[in-house]
Amino acid sequence: MNTLVNVARYHLVDRLQFLILPVGVTLFAFGVNLAIFSVIPETPEQNYSGGLFTLFVFMLVCGALSMTKSLPFGLALGVSRRSYYLGTVLLVAGLSVLYAVGIVVFQAIEKATGGWGLGLNYFRVPWLLDGPWYLTLLTAFVFLTLMFVYGMWYGLIYRRASVLGVVLFSAAQVLVLLSGVLLLSWTDSWSKLGTFFGTLTVGGVTGILAILVGVAAAGGFATMRRVTV
Helix pair angle (81-112, 202-224), 10° resolution: 160
Which three-class secondary structure state does DSSP give residue 120? coil
State pLDDT tens for residues 58-71.
999 999 998 988 88
pTM: 0.90
One-letter amino acid of 72: P
Whole-number pLDDT of residue 194 = 67
Query: Cβ distance 95 to 144 under 8 Å?
Result: yes
Whole-number pLDDT of residue 98 = 95
pLDDT exceeds 80 at position 166 = yes
State pLDDT tens for residues 6-43.
998 998 888 888 889 899 999 999 999 888 888 776 55
Q: 94, 82, 90: which is closest to 220 by C-alpha?
A: 82
Which three-class secondary structure state does DSSP give residue 195? helix
Mean predicted confidence (pLDDT) in 211-218: 94
